[in-house]
Structure 1
Amino acid sequence: MTSLIEIAKQAKQATTGLAKATTANKNDALHLIAQELIKQQDAILHGNQKDLDSAVEKGISASVIDRIRLTPERIETMAQALHELVELDDPIRKTLDDWKRPNGLQITKIAVPIGVIGIIYEARPNVTVDAASLCLKTGNAVILRGSSSAIHSNTILVKVIQDALAKSELPTHSVQLIEDTSRATAEKMFRLNEYLDVLIPRGSKQLIDTVVEKSSVPVLETGAGNCHLYIDQTANVEMAIEIAINAKTQRPSVCNAIETILVERGWFEKNGEQLVRALIEKDVTVRGDELVLAQNNDLELATEDDWHMEYLDTTVSMKIVDDVHQAIEHINRYGTHHSEAIISEDQNNVVSFLNQVDAACVYHNASTRFTDGFEFGFGAEIGISTQKLHARGPMGLEALTSTKYVLYGDGQIK
Structure 2
Amino acid sequence: MSVTELAQRARIAARTLATATRAVKDDALVAMADALVTRTDEILRANGVDVAAAREAGTSESIVDRLALTPGRLAAIADGLRQMAALADPVGEVVRGSTLPNGLQLRQVRVPFGVVGIIYEARPNVTADAAGLTLKSGNAVLLRGSSSAANSNAAIVDVLREAIAKTGLPADSVQLVDPSSRETVRDLMRARGLVDVLIPRGGAGLIRSVVEDSTVPVIETGVGNCHIYVDETADLDMALSILINAKTSRPSVCNAAESLLVHSAVADTFLPRALDALRAAGVVVHGTAPVARFGEVVPATEEDFATEYLALEISVDVVDSLDAAIDHITRYGTGHSEAIVTGSLSAANEFTARVDAAAVLVNASTRFVDGGEFGFGAEIGISTQKLHARGPMGLPELTSTKYVVTGAGHVR
TM-score relative to the length of structure 2? 0.99
User: Which residue does the alignment assign to 1:363?
Assistant: 361
SS of 1:318's partner is: strand
Contact 1:145 1:181 in 2 (8 A): no
Contact 2:117 2:199 in 1 (8 A): yes
Give the letter aligned to residue 317 of structure 1: S
Question: Pairwise mapping of residues 154-165 of structure 1 onto structure 2 (< 5 A)?
Answer: 154-165=153-164
Stretch deviating more after TM superposition (385-394 or 99-108): 99-108
User: Which residue does the alignment assign to 1:315?
Assistant: 313
CA distance in 2, matches of 1:205, 1:166: 36
Question: Pairwise mapping of residues 392-407 of structure 1 onto structure 2 (< 5 A)?
Answer: 392-407=390-405
CA distance in 2, matches of 1:286, 1:96: 47
CA distance in 2, matches of 1:50, 1:56: 10
SS of 1:14's partner is: helix
- 1:45 lines up with 2:65 in the alignment: no
User: Which residue does the alignment assign to 1:284?
Assistant: 283
Deviation per CA, 1:46-101, whole angstroms, max 9, x where unpaired?
Answer: 00000000001100000000000000000100111111111111010111212112
CA distance in 2, matches of 1:367, 1:158: 33
Contact 2:40 2:74 in 1 (8 A): yes
Give the letter aligned to residue 102 of structure 1: P
CA distance in 1, matches of 2:19, 2:256: 41
Stretch deviating more after TM superposition (347-356 or 250-259): 347-356
Deviation per CA, 1:34-57, whole angstroms, max 9, x where unpaired?
Answer: 010011101100000000000011
Question: Pairwise mapping of residues 6-405 of structure 1 onto structure 2 (< 5 A)?
Answer: 6-296=5-295, 298-405=296-403
CA distance in 2, matches of 1:285, 1:294: 16
CA distance in 2, matches of 1:53, 1:323: 48
CA distance in 1, matches of 2:18, 2:199: 21
CA distance in 1, matches of 2:66, 2:156: 16
Q: State the identity %.
A: 51
CA distance in 1, matches of 2:2, 2:216: 19
Contact 1:81 1:380 in 2 (8 A): yes
Stretch deviating more after TM superposition (119-128 or 91-100): 91-100
Stretch deviating more after TM superposition (175-184 or 286-295): 175-184
CA distance in 2, matches of 1:95, 1:238: 46
SS of 1:412's partner is: coil
Unmatched runs of 5 consecutive residues or more in structure 1: none
Shift of 1:169: 2.3
CA distance in 1, matches of 2:269, 2:411: 76
Deviation per CA, 1:145-187, whole angstroms, max 9, x where unpaired?
Answer: 0001111100000001101011012111010001233222211
Shift of 1:127: 0.4
Give the letter aligned to residue 316 of structure 2: M
Shift of 1:134: 0.5
SS of 1:228's partner is: strand
Shift of 1:102: 2.2
Contact 1:146 1:181 in 2 (8 A): no
User: Which residue does the alignment assign to 1:412?
Assistant: 410
SS of 2:293's partner is: helix
Give the letter aligned to residue 351 of structure 1: N
CA distance in 2, matches of 1:358, 1:97: 28
CA distance in 2, matches of 1:180, 1:75: 22
Contact 2:18 2:114 in 1 (8 A): no
SS of 1:185's partner is: helix
Deviation per CA, 1:79-129, whole angstroms, max 9, x where unpaired?
Answer: 111111111110101112121122221111111001100000001100001
Deviation per CA, 1:289-336, whole angstroms, max 9, x where unpaired?
Answer: 11111332x311000001100000000000000011100010011100
C-alpha RMSD of matched pairs (Å): 0.8
CA distance in 1, matches of 2:323, 2:168: 56
Shift of 1:348: 1.4
CA distance in 2, matches of 1:306, 1:241: 21
Contact 1:112 1:404 in 2 (8 A): yes
CA distance in 2, matches of 1:101, 1:340: 43
Give the letter aligned to residue 384 of structure 2: T
Counting matched residue pairs gives 412
Deviation per CA, 1:188-236, whole angstroms, max 9, x where unpaired?
Answer: 1100002011000000011100101110101000000000000011111
TM-score relative to the length of structure 1? 0.98
Deviation per CA, 1:215-264, whole angstroms, max 9, x where unpaired?
Answer: 01010000000000000111112111111111000000000000000000
Contact 2:150 2:179 in 1 (8 A): no
SS of 1:128's partner is: helix
CA distance in 1, matches of 2:192, 2:75: 36
